[in-house]
Chains A and B, each alone.
Chain A
Amino acid sequence: MSSKPLLIRGGHLVDPRNQRDEVVDVFLSDGKVKEIGKALHPGTGVEVYDATGKIVTPGLIDMHVHLREPGQEEKETIATGTAAAAMGGFTAVACMPNTEPALDNVSQIQFVLMKARSEGHVRVYPVGAITKAQEGKELTEIGAMFRAGCVALSDDGHPVSNSNLFRRALEYAHTFGIPVIDHCEDADLFKGGVMNEGELSSRLGLKGIPRQAEYIVVARNIALCELTQAHIHLTHLSTRESIALVREAKKRGLPITADTCPHYFTLTEDAVSGYNTLAKMNPPLRMESDRLAIIEGLLDGTLDTIASDHAPHTFAQKSREFSVAPFGIIGLETTVGLLFTEMIQKNGMSITAAIRSLTEAPAKALNLPGGHLSVGALADVTVIDPKLRWDVKDFVSKSRNSPFVGRSLTGKATLTIVDGHVVMRDGHLIKNSQVN
C-alpha cells in the first residue's frame, strides 16, 4: 500500500545527522522525504499535520527491546510490542534473540521479519544469537543470519563467558560488518544475585550483584575490542566504573559504542525498598553516584544511545516474592517522556544530543538506513510535543511492569510515521496493512 503524501507543517526539525535545528516544513511522499523547506506548498490533496510548537525528528530507534515472540506470547508479541513502540514514538526496534526458541538461525530470523511485516506497527530489526541456543558453546551461522536480515549479534540475557569464543564471535561478525552487542556480566559474580550489592541488599537480606560483575566484563570487552578491532556495542551500562572505562577506550579510538536505559538515569536502588519487584531489573539499579555518572556519560557522549531494554512480564510473574520475580521492566512507552523530563529538563541535555541518542546514534551503531531526514531518506518521522504533561498510566504493551506508573512526565510523541504511513497520532494507533 503506497503512502499518501503528507506535509508536516511548522514544526521544529531536529535532525542531528544533518545538523538541522530550525522551524521548517517536511514533505513526505512515496515513503520518502521529498522536500524540506520553509512554507512549502506541495499542492492539493496533501494531508497536512500542524506541528507548530512541536519537535519533528527522524523516526526514533530503540536498539534493545524484547518482543517475547516466539515463545512467551503471554508477555508480549511482535504485534503488541511494536504497537507499544509506535505509541512511544519509535519507528524501529531491534529485538533481542532470547526468545523461546532463541533467534539463532535463519528460519527464526525469517519468522520475526515475516511476523513484523504482517502484524507489526513499526520496523523490526532482529538481533541474532551469538551462540546456538545462547548456550555460549558454538557459534551460530552468523553469515546466513546476516543475509536473512539480522542486524547485530547478542547473547543478551545469557552473556558469553568464554573469552576466546567471544573473541572469535567479534572477529567473525566483523567479516559481515555487523556489531556484537554485549550485556556485560560476569556469570559467577552475578550468580543468584537479585539487586545491587550494598547496604540496602544487606538490610533486605537479598543477594547482591556486585558492580564489579558488570565492569569486569566491560574491561574484558574493551581488551577484546583492542585485540580484534571489531565493533562492539556495550548495552544497558549501569555503573560509574563502566562509563569511565568506555570513556577511556573511546579516547584511544577503539570502535566501541554504548548505551544506557532511562531507568539508570532516573532511579537508584532505593526504588527496590519494600521489595518492589517493579524495580527489579538486570543490571540492577545502582547508587546515586552511578546515576550521576550515567547522566555525565550521556552529556559528554561517552554513552552514544539510549535504549529501553523493554522487558515485558505478566502481572502474575511480577507479583511474586522479590527473589523469584523475573528481571526487567517495560520501557517503549516511557523513554521519550523520561528523556525529556529527566535529561533535557532536569539535566540540561540539548535537544539535539537527546534526539541523536535515539536516531543517528543507534542507526550508526547498527548500520540502519534510518536515523536522519535527508531528502530521499526513509519517511520515518516522529513528532514530539515537548510541553505535553502526562501521567504514566495505561500501556498498549501487553504487560504493564513499569516502576514509572503514577509518575508525571513532560514530553510525549504525538505522531509516529513509518515509511510514510501514520501509525500513531495523538495517542491513537492507526493500523496499516503493511509496514516494512
Chain B
Amino acid sequence: MSFKHKHLLGLENLSTEDIDTVLRTATPFKTLFTRSIKKVPTLRGKTVAQLFYEPSTRTRTSFELAAARLSADSLSLSVDSSSVKKGESLIDTALNLEAMKVDFMVVRHPVSGAPELLSKSVQAHVINAGDGNHEHPTQGLLDLFTIQEKKNKIQDLNVAIIGDILHSRVARSNIWGLTKMGANVRLCGPATLIPKEMRTAFGKSVQVTYDMKEALDGADVAYVLRLQLERQQEHLFPSLREYHEFYGLDMRKLAWAKKDCVVMHPGPMNRGVEIASPVADGPQSLILDQVTNGIAVRMAVMYLLAGGKA
C-alpha cells in the first residue's frame, strides 16, 4: 500500500488507512534501535533541512536522529522567531534552501499555517514539526504509535486530553488522529482553555468536561498537555497553584482512571504544575517511550513521503 501524500502538514488530511500505514511502517524501524548498528541506507544521498523558527530540543533532535538512521544528510537552521515580525519572508528562506536542492524541509514555526504556505512554493517534501496552535502531526503519530504499542489497539479506548487545549497543536493532531482511529476523546481543563467549538469542530464528536473525575473515569490513556506558564497573564487562569489543584495530574486524580491507564505528555514537563513527579516517573508513565518512538515514526514518515512502500 502506498502513501499518496507529498507533504505532511497535519493529521486532518490523512485517512485512517494513511495513519495505519505510518504506524505499521514505524514498527520495523523501531526494531532497528536494538541493533548495534542502528542505521539503514534507505535515504542515502537525500538532504533534510530543519527550519526552526521556534526553539525545540526534543523534536529537532528526534528528526536529526531519524534522518541519520536513514543515512540522509541533515542541516539545521535556527531562525530567531523575532525575525518573523521583522518582515523576513519565510518563502524567501525556503526558496534559498530549495536552490541548494534539499529534499525535505522540516518546519517548526510559531504561526499556524506556515508549513502549508511553504508547501505551496517549494518542490521539497514539507514536514510540519509544529505550527502555532494548529498541528504537530509527527507528535500525534508517535503518540498513536505509543498507545497502540502498549494497548495493542486504539479503537474504542477512552483517551482524556488534559490541559491547555486552546493553544495546543499537540491536542489538535491527537484529536484528529485518535478520532480517526476510533478512540473516544474527552477534553478536560478550565473553560478558558477549551474553545466551546471543540466538541464539533473535528467532525466526529469529542466530549468536553471541566471535571477531572469525569474525564478520567474509565480512561485508558491520560494525555497531559504542557501548560505555557505565561498564559496566566492572559487571564486564562488565576494562579499555577489553583491550576495544579484542579487540573494537575497527581496520584490522587490518576486513581480515578482505569488501573492500567497509561500517562503521556509531549514534553517538556512543568513538574508540579500540569503533572506531579510521582505520576511522571511512575509505572504508568509512557513519557520516555514517546521519545524513543518519535524517532521510529519520523523515519517512517520520511521514508513514506519519499515514495517508500509500506
Q: Is the CB of B133 within 8 A of A206?
A: yes
B197 near A: Cβ within 8 Å? yes
A321 adjacent to B84 (CB under 8 Å): yes
Contact B135 A205 (CB under 8 A): yes
- CB pair B111–A324 under 8 Å, yes or no, is yes
Q: Is B182 an interface residue (CB 8 A)?
A: no
Q: Which residues of B contact A199 (CB under 8 A)?
A: 197, 200-201
Given A199-B197, A320-B90, A204 and B112 contact (CB-CB distance below 8 Å): yes
- The answer on a CB contact under 8 Å between A323 and B111 is yes
A198 touching B113, Cβ below 8 Å: no
Min CB distance, B166 to chain A, in Å? Answer: 8
B200 nearest CB neighbor, chain A only: A199
Among the listed B90, B133, B135, B200, which residue makes an inter-chain contact with A321, where contact means beta carbons less than 8 Å apart? B90
Q: Could you tell me the distance between the alpha carbons of A71 and B70 in the complex, rounded to whole angstroms?
A: 53
Residues of A within 8 Å of B202, CB to CB, are 203
B169 at the A interface (CB under 8 A): yes
Among B77-122, those with CB < 8 Å from A are 84-85, 89-91, 109, 111-114, 116-117
In the complex with contacts A203-B202, A320-B89, A321-B84, A275-B197 CB distance below 8 A: no
B113 touches A203 (CB 8 A): no
For window 186-209 of A, CB contacts with B under 8 Å fall at 197-208
A345 to B172, CA, bound (A): 41
The CA-CA distance from A198 to B199 in the complex, in Å, is 11
Indicate whether A275 sits within 8 Å of B112 (C-beta atoms), given known contacts A202-B195, A202-B198, A203-B172. Answer: yes
Is B272 positioned at the interface, with any CB of A under 8 Å from its CB? no
In-complex Cβ contact of B113 among A200, A202, A204 (8 A):
A204
| A322 at the binding interface (Cβ < 8 Å) | yes
Q: B131 contacts the other chain (Cβ, under 8 Å)?
A: yes
Cα of A222 to Cα of B135 in the assembled complex, Å: 41
Q: Which residues of A contact B113 (CB under 8 A)?
A: 204-206, 275, 321-323
Q: State the interface size on chain B (CB cutoff 8 A).
A: 26
Is B111 a contact partner of A198 (Cβ separation < 8 A)?
Answer: no
Q: How many A-B residue pairs have CB under 8 A?
A: 66
**Minimum C-beta distance from A203 to chain B (A):** 5
B69 at interface by CB-CB < 8 Å: no
Question: A369 contacts which chain B residues (CB < 8 A)?
Answer: none
* A206 vs B111: C-alpha distance when bound (angstroms): 8
Nearest to A323 among chain B residues (CB) is B111
Residues of chain A lying within 8 A (CB to CB) of residue B186: none
Q: For A319, list chain B residues within 8 Å (CB).
A: 89, 91, 117
B308 at the interface (CB under 8 A from A): no
| B134 CB–A CB distance under 8 Å | yes
Are A275's CB and B117's CB within 8 A?
yes
Decide if A316 is an interface residue (CB 8 Å cutoff). yes
Interface membership of B218, Cβ < 8 A: no
Question: Per-residue CB proximity of B258-287 to A under 8 Å, as 1/0?
Answer: 000000000000000000000000000000
Interface string of B197-211 (1 = CB under 8 A from A): 110111000000000
A324 touching B84, Cβ below 8 Å: yes
A321 touches B201 (CB 8 A): no
Residue of B nearest to A274 (CB): B116
Q: Which residues of A contact B131 (CB under 8 A)?
A: 205
The answer to whether B89 and A205 touch across the interface, beta carbons within 8 angstroms, is no
Instruction: Point out which of B89, B112, B133 has the most chain A C-beta atoms below 10 A from its C-beta.
Output: B112
Question: In the complex the two chains form, is A321's CB within 8 Å of B109's CB?
Answer: yes
Q: State whether A205 touches B84 (Cβ < 8 A).
A: no
Q: What is the 8 Å Cβ interface bit string for chain B, positions 129-140, against chain A (1 contact, 0 not)? A: 001111100000
Complex contacts, A205 vs chain B, CB 8 Å: 112-113, 131-135, 169, 172
Residues of A at the B interface (CB closer than 8 Å) are 197-208, 274-275, 316, 319-324
A selection of 19 A-B contacts at a CB cut-off of 8 Å is: A197-B195, A197-B197, A199-B200, A202-B197, A202-B201, A204-B112, A205-B134, A205-B135, A205-B172, A206-B133, A208-B195, A321-B90, A321-B109, A321-B111, A321-B113, A322-B111, A323-B112, A323-B113, A324-B84
**Known pairs A205-B112, A321-B90. 5 more at Cβ < 8 A?**
A198-B197, A206-B132, A320-B117, A321-B111, A321-B114
Residues of B that sit less than 8 Å from A by CB: 12, 84-85, 89-91, 109, 111-114, 116-117, 131-135, 169, 172, 195, 197-198, 200-202
Please name the 4 residue pairs, one residue from A and one from B, whose CB atoms are nearest each other, closest first.
Answer: A205-B134, A275-B113, A205-B133, A199-B201
